[in-house]
A and B are shown apart, each in its own frame.
Chain A
Amino acid sequence: MRAAAPARRNSGKPAPEPPKNLIEVVPKIGVTDVPGEAALRQLPLLDIKTVREVRISTIYEVTGKYSSSHINQIARELLADPITQEYKVERSATPNAFLMGPHVRVEVWLKKTVSDPIGESTQRAITSLGLAEPVRVRTGRAFHFIGRLSKPQIEKLVLKLLSNPVIHLTKVTQR
């Protein structure tokens, strides 16, 4: 990416962005979700006592042209631990819910202006698998709260526990 600034000045329209692939990695059902349990313990401190369980997954947004077998290879060989974790792959959309039943899903992403070290390392690692280098890899986390939550409670959760608006973007879905 050396001295790219003047080069870009000369070119006309930027090339269209390659497709985004979303890979979501979760602990298998039955495996202890340690960060999830830690998050659950924090809830009573925020006066939220109606949540039974918290499960946390990691989302990788890999921007680049890959066949579905390559994306599956990345997920299987690089990102998910075959014994304790499972993964889902989607293209340019949020993956379907892992969980049955009603729950709140909060996705937390780093803002585009904040550098993403895990994403940068993943980018290198994908190249090490022998695949083409992705344009970009961004990482995020999805928190699943199983139990009853009101809108203000969700807002409180997002602001006081899950994200810092200075560096994070969040997306809440209720199922």
Chain B
Amino acid sequence: MTTATKVKLAGNGTSNNSAKAHAPVWPTWSTLSPRALADLDAAYGWSLDADELKTVQAHFIGLKREPVRAEIETLAQTWSEHCSHKTFRSAVKYKEGRSTKRFKNLLKETIMEPTKKLKKKWCLSVFEDNAGIIAFDKKWALAYKVETHNHPCAVEPYGGAETGVGGVIRDILGAGLGAKPVMNTDVFCFCPPDYKGYLPEGILHPRRTMSSVVEGVRDYGNRMGIPTAAGAIWFDEAYKMNPLVFVGTIGIMPRSAVKKSIHPGDLIVAVGGKTGRDGLHGATFSSAAIDDTTSTSAVQVGHAIEEKRLLDALLKARDKNLYRGLTDCGAGGFSSAIGEMASLSGRKGGACVRLDAAALKTSDLSPWEIWVSESQERMVLAVPKKNLRALQGIFAGEGSEVSVLGEFTNTGCLEVSFGDETLVNLDLKFLHDGNPQRERNASFTPPPKNLPKKVKRSEDRSKITEILHWSLANLNTCSREWVIRQYDHEVQGGTVIKPLQGLHHDGPGDAPVLWPGIVTGEVENFKGFTVGHGLNPSYGKLDPYAMALIAVDEALGNLVCVGGDPTKAALLDNFCWGDVNDPEQLGGLVRAALGCKDAALGFQTPFISGKDSLHNVYTDAKGKKHSIPGTLLISAIAPVDDIRKAVTMDFKAPNNPVFLVGPTNEDFGGSLYEQWKGTPQGAAPQVNIKTAKKTLWTLSAAIRKGLVFSAHNLSEGGLAVAAAEMAIAGDVSIDIDLDDVTRSKNLLDNVSILFTESPSRFLVEVKAEKEKAFLKAMRGAPLCRIGQTIANPVLRVTGLDGTRLLEESLHDLKKSWQGTLPRMLEGESNDKGRNA
């Protein structure tokens, strides 16, 4: 770089006289003290820590020149938590009780290890691309990705949710050579919408956050014509400042499009939307904790129609082999996308970028702003020169922008210029591997083993009806119809099993089943797939390890219920954690990651992709930090060999035997009953992986043989809630005899049997004439016949002493179950049970 350029760039690299007065004068880096560097970082909003700033300073002193603003911006984006997962990939010293364990790379040694060990042939691309890719059949592959968009949704829920969905859809478009999105998923953690406590100024009320997030997911998915068919919501007051929004997309692609490559000399082509000032510093913003003065420049609004045009043009170009590689412009914009792709070009990697050609929304952008802007709906392609004209033709036909920004090289350098100014000249090795690694401390105090003094649940015998109504109306179990009905889950015509199931299409399904035949054009092929989720932060408060096992167990269990094949299931992890600079918080994270590892090895299901969102912390006016409860979402995907044999959860007909599959133990820690009672009820449930695997695998085989009418996974509220849900959905009820429930010796009373939340349990209705075949198929798995379905629309339970314990009308139960969300979100006037 010439001296002349240096002088010019000393003015912030600003190429025009637009209003940049707020930015401080660009200083001489080499002479700055650590303190001054930290001040500079705060003023520019890079979220780099002291070690990183020092490393950058030393790097440029070594080069004998001063850094330019665009270079620091590039480093800040690439090294951000969002782009590099620096905490999860770092070395960790983990203390648990008296033992200490050292990880060199936490992610590699926990989540990624089972995948490496299991060596499943159907895992086509794991942890390397924008999404995990598994084989669907001989010709097709499925790409699945789940992302979080928490910080933007806290500030502007509608736009945050929209751009979150848009981003994860582009991840699927950017996986391999691009997959066609066939389904969206959404999982939320909110503060209850009827929250009445204190909220600091500028924090939106949870009701507003929730309805706006749902609107955002709805509008983006519906407008792009992608069904939103699976999800979950969890409510806890701890999310009042930091709502969690997980959005996922599944795409289908030919297996030939799984691998991408980039050759030196390929053109760097930006396609899709234009670049504007929106979303500057989104990546670094996501590494920062929210406080009373959170910057708002990171807020964006999505443009679904623009992305739809991009999608249509891109898939046409893919099928004509017009490009060799691509990635989406997410956090960090061009700087991350091109920087990431550059490292794939040739042996050394490299890219030469000229930003003059970028299509802009407004003319007053500084070059560095173009470079790091996070404007939505953009992607970067690597296009062989000879294909450019054909590519331009296709994109013009869809009305989508194409601009050539330079070419990939093999120089080992990322070079960016605007006009005659050099903006960035960075060594790729330093950019991608230069960030300082430090060992982080984590510690975990194991939960106390001793149970609280004996709780007498038998006393609540007379309150069983009340507990059941309360459980059904509880925010974490009640009907999600208010949310689900806003989404188009039918578009593309492949949703075979829908999110709401049963006679009136309003029962809580375990998982949807999707048939991609319309997309692939193979209408004679009845293979489909299903997607399930597992999430329960209340177990995490007791023991993150147990939470991870239960989440995997629940996600797989949901797949099994609808007819998925668990032997070919793949998992995705999403960690949302609080302040991981606090060793205790990081300890919980490590323990959850260890749980994921043991679960994946135990169930023999590999992880294929994942993402983490850390620093979900709110600092109040007094400087006190409030972390969210450690939250782990497990998403699972599995093929359904024959969609015609898929099963829903509603009871189908009277006089069929009903079986409880799986072991029933005393498991009340973190349960709904515990919440109702208001007193601690012991430790979190422990999954016995060996038994759980046997149960899941055997039941799955029986379902796929067509022996089962309906199946439902037991979760919050245990047997009582699951039985009520199946009855409500089918308008066919059940008569249960609790004495028939095979149970552990310490379960002595009716209340405990009805409401215990032991994991890996299922309620299964079997065709009367196939009872024998079912019992034969289930040999070796724990199960018991607990009653039969009845035509009378009342839920009946007979107690251990042979007397009638519960007789409650389905209509009333349904009313409790359906009323909660409409009442909280739309006011009292809608408090009516519908279709009951």
Question: Taking beta carbons and an 8 Å cutoff, which residues of A are in contact with B?
Answer: 1-9, 38, 41-42, 44-45, 110, 113-117, 120-121, 124, 160-161, 164-167
Contacts and interface: CB of A to CB of B under 8 A. Distances in A.
A26 B366 CA distance: 40
Contact of A5 (B306, B361, B364, B829): B364
B301 A115 contact: yes
Max chain B Cβ within 10 angstroms of own Cβ: one of A2, A4, A117, A167: A117
A124 to B, nearest CB: 7
Contacts, number: 90
Contacts of B367: 5
A2 B208 contact: no
A132 to B, nearest CB: 18
Contacts of B62: none
A166 B399 CA distance: 31
A44 B828 CA distance: 9
Interface of B: 15-17, 155-156, 158-159, 202, 204-205, 207-208, 274, 276-278, 296-297, 299-306, 356-367, 375, 399, 403, 419, 826-830
Given A8-B364, A115-B276, A161-B208, 19 more contacts: A1-B362, A4-B363, A5-B16, A5-B360, A9-B17, A38-B826, A41-B829, A41-B830, A42-B826, A114-B300, A117-B301, A117-B302, A121-B305, A160-B205, A164-B158, A164-B204, A166-B155, A166-B299, A167-B301
A55 B633 CA distance: 41
A165 B299 CA distance: 12
11 contacts: A2-B359, A5-B15, A5-B16, A6-B16, A41-B827, A114-B159, A114-B301, A117-B301, A120-B306, A160-B205, A167-B296
A56 B399 CA distance: 32
Nearest to A164: B156
Contacts of B17: 9
Closest 7 CB pairs of A and B: A4-B363, A117-B303, A3-B356, A166-B296, A9-B16, A44-B827, A1-B360
Given A44-B827, A124-B399, A4 B360 contact: yes
Nearest to B303: A117
Contact of B361 (A3, A8, A115, A165): A115
A160 B156 CA distance: 13
A68 to B, nearest CB: 29
Contact of B156 (A2, A6, A167): A167
B15 A9 contact: yes
Contacts of B362: 1
Max chain A Cβ within 10 angstroms of own Cβ: one of B302, B305, B357: B305
Contact of B278 (A9, A115, A161): A115
B460 to A, nearest CB: 33
B334 to A, nearest CB: 15
A116 B278 CA distance: 11
Given A2-B357, A41-B829, A44-B827, A114 B305 contact: no
Contacts of B278: 113-115
Given A115-B375, A116-B301, A1 B204 contact: no
Max chain B Cβ within 10 angstroms of own Cβ: one of A3, A9, A115, A121: A115
A9 to B, nearest CB: 5
Given A1-B361, A8-B363, A117-B302, A42 B276 contact: no
Max chain A Cβ within 10 angstroms of own Cβ: one of B277, B363, B403: B363
Contacts of B419: 6
Contacts of B357: 2-3
A110 B158 CA distance: 13
Given A110-B301, A116-B301, A160-B208, A1 B363 contact: yes
Contact of A6 (B15, B159, B207, B303): B15
Contacts of B276: 115
Contacts of B301: 110, 114-117, 167
B16 A1 contact: no
